[in-house]
Structure 1
Amino acid sequence: MTVETTRIKGLTIAALGVLFITPDALLVKITSVDPVVFVFWRGLLLAISFYVISWLRYRSRLVPEIRKCGWKGLFCAGAFAISTLGFVVGMKNTAAGNVLVILNTAPVIAAVIAWAVWKETLPLRTWAIILVCVTGATFMAIGEWGKGNPLGLIMAFVAATALASNLNMARSKPDSDMSVMLMFGALLLAAVAALAGGAHIPSPRDSFFIALLCLVFLPMACILIQIGPRYIPAAEVSLMLLLETVLGSFLVWLFLGEVPPRLSLIGGVIVFSALAVHGWVEVRRYRRSRTQLINPDPAREDTHY
């Protein structure tokens, strides 16, 4: 598999994960349960979903695959639990736009961690896309900043840092499928919430939305996003998650009436356009590399004689 083919595969996997995770903000906001109750059921249902999907993928090879992940897999599981907790508590304590905007710092955090810890550098074009997207996210934040409890903002930043750390750790061991460790992170999340008094049965309405999110959308989203760093840098996986800022905020506005200000709309257009250009450039590079492999330049062949 060529480098360009690997990059396209990674970007496609990450993009599909983002599409599955887009309803997350809406379904978190639409429920009326306490955050600790929501976290308990989110963790428990996700643990079941992750186990079923992992077993279907690996069957008798599941245990060896888990052991192969080692201590780095345990780190990813813990970071996943922390990022999920931060996201849910953030959503319950401040505007959805605030949380999604702070999560936009994840690509920068991931790039800094990759450079400082793993000595991995990014192409200038990727840095350019990150800077443009962060600029767009800043526009989105201006209109909504300050709404809600400061705890929500703090927990959103914790979620962004944990997410970036998780993806970087997964990137550091590409020969292992860290998605099989997510079930342990989800179980840890459920256990912490249960100790905090979250083991209560929600209303039928809230139970429906929680089940819809945690049994349908989130399992595939989390697994695809966790697999992404096996093929592309963690910062690029985080970069694809910026698409959720635009689509997630749009769904919250459409169904819950949290109308974004004009600057937020401008920022959303900037983020969406930058990611579209990024995808277009990567597809062109992939097609060019395939063309060169299929039809090599005759002039280059002549230089060998």
Structure 2
Amino acid sequence: MSPHTKGLILTAIGGVTLAFDIPLIKLAGGDVWSILLLRGSSTLVAALIAWLVWRAISRDVPPLIPGKAGLAVVACYGVTSICFMSAVFYTSTANLVFIVAFSTVFSTVLSWVFLREVPRPQTLLAMGVMILAIAIIVQDGLSSGGWFGDLLALGAAISIATAIVISRASGRDMGFTPLIAVIAPILVGGTMVASNGLNVEAPWWIIFDGLVVIPIAFFLLATGPKYISGPEVAMFYLLETVLAPIWVWYIFAEVPSNQSLFGGAILIVTLLIHAVWQLKKSRKRRLAA
């Protein structure tokens, strides 16, 4: 298996797993600070346990924070977590996933400017089609959110893109870095909970989210830039845009509109076509070598 193929597979699994995050947050039913504290604490515990076990059985364990680049990525993911979690409560899900989806565009621009990674025409075309598909999905909900929540979502999109590009530029293994980045959300959430008290109706859902879903998703997505370009990694974050409404459909019996299903079908087909094209191109390069 080529490194590029490995990167595509890892980020695809990470993107699918991340789509469970918003439904689990909604199932927990709490205020933003309590959710932020429990989700971050659970994620940190899971990350430290996994790292210690890995270190006990192998010397080839990735560092928790690989140098200055790792510190920068920690800061970016810390901002992402706080902005994203807050945006869940201050704007509509449609607004949130639409704006965060623009991390693909931000990642492409940043990679182009700072890494001189000129995107292939096929990648630019795929991104354009996917953005159009997302616009179709959330067209009816764009006016339902507040400006504050929309700005938080924009902050999450920019910080995700920045973290991806820094990871790509460093070439270091950042698998555990976004999981350690939850320290900042824990401190912020803990400070507010200390003043207002813990308010979560079903804490087991958010604990499961922090212990299992978030560590798997962000470990794989953060490992992706080691093998594939920033724009390609960012595209797999878009899977949450189409899959999260499907999970909500099953869990909360909220039937998505025909418009959402149509846009989701376009997005999935585009991702598949682009991934297959990348796999074939990677295979040809390997055979030529």
Q: TM-score by structure 2 length?
A: 0.91
Residue of 222, 241, 244 corresponding to 2:218? 222
Indicate the residue corresponding to 2:206 in structure 1: 210
Indicate how the Cα distance of structure 1 residues 64 and 246 shifts in structure 2: closer, same or farther if over 3 A, else same.
closer
Indicate how the Cα distance of structure 1 residues 63 and 264 shifts in structure 2: closer, same or farther if over 3 A, else same.
closer
Q: Give deviations 1:257-277, integer Å, cap 9, x for gaps.
A: 444333322221111110011
Indicate the residue corresponding to 1:75 in structure 2: 72
8 A Cα contact 2:248 2:254, kept in partner? yes
1:76, distance to aligned residue in structure 2 (A): 0.6
1:253, distance to aligned residue in structure 2 (A): 2.8
Superposed structure 1 runs of 4+ greater than 3 Å apart: 58-64, 198-203, 257-262, 286-293
1:65 aligns with 2:85: no
8 A Cα contact 1:14 1:224, kept in partner? yes
Q: Matches of 1:79 and 1:64 in 2, distance apart?
A: 19
Q: Counterpart of 1:196 in 2: which secondary structure?
A: helix
Structure showing greater radius of gyration is 1
8 A Cα contact 2:47 2:180, kept in partner? no
Indicate how the Cα distance of structure 1 residues 183 and 250 shifts in structure 2: closer, same or farther if over 3 A, else same.
closer
Residue of 114, 119, 127 corresponding to 1:117? 114
Residue of 132, 137, 145 corresponding to 1:148? 145
Letter in 2 for 1:181: T
Q: Counterpart of 2:117 in 1: which secondary structure?
A: coil
1:287, distance to aligned residue in structure 2 (A): 4.1
How many residues were matched structurally? 287
Letter in 2 for 1:71: K
Q: Matches of 1:24 and 1:131 in 2, distance apart?
A: 25
My pick for the range that moved more, 14-23 or 56-65, is 56-65
**Structure 2 stretches lacking a partner, 5+ long:** none
Q: Counterpart of 2:193 in 1: which secondary structure?
A: coil
My pick for the range that moved more, 266-275 or 280-289, is 280-289
Percent identity over the alignment is 25
**Structure 1 stretches lacking a partner, 5+ long:** 294-305
Q: Matches of 1:25 and 1:143 in 2, distance apart?
A: 19
Indicate how the Cα distance of structure 1 residues 90 and 81 shifts in structure 2: closer, same or farther if over 3 A, else same.
same
Indicate how the Cα distance of structure 1 residues 273 and 185 shifts in structure 2: closer, same or farther if over 3 A, else same.
same
Indicate the residue corresponding to 1:300 in structure 2: none
8 A Cα contact 2:62 2:176, kept in partner? no
1:252 aligns with 2:269: no
Q: Matches of 1:284 and 1:119 in 2, distance apart?
A: 24
8 A Cα contact 1:94 1:149, kept in partner? yes
1:202, distance to aligned residue in structure 2 (A): 4.6
Q: Matches of 1:64 and 1:130 in 2, distance apart?
A: 31
Indicate how the Cα distance of structure 1 residues 48 and 257 shifts in structure 2: closer, same or farther if over 3 A, else same.
same
8 A Cα contact 1:179 1:227, kept in partner? yes
Q: Matches of 2:106 and 2:244 in 1, distance apart?
A: 21
Q: Matches of 1:145 and 1:105 in 2, distance apart?
A: 14
My pick for the range that moved more, 269-278 or 86-95, is 86-95
Q: Give deviations 1:79-138, integer Å, cap 9, x for gaps.
A: 111111111111122222221111110110001111112222221111111111011111
Q: Counterpart of 1:178 in 2: which secondary structure?
A: coil
Q: CA RMSD, aligned part only?
A: 2.2
Letter in 1 for 2:99: I
Q: Counterpart of 1:179 in 2: which secondary structure?
A: coil
Q: Counterpart of 1:172 in 2: which secondary structure?
A: helix
Q: TM-score by structure 1 length?
A: 0.87
Indicate how the Cα distance of structure 1 residues 183 and 139 shifts in structure 2: closer, same or farther if over 3 A, else same.
closer
Residue of 175, 182, 187 corresponding to 1:186? 182
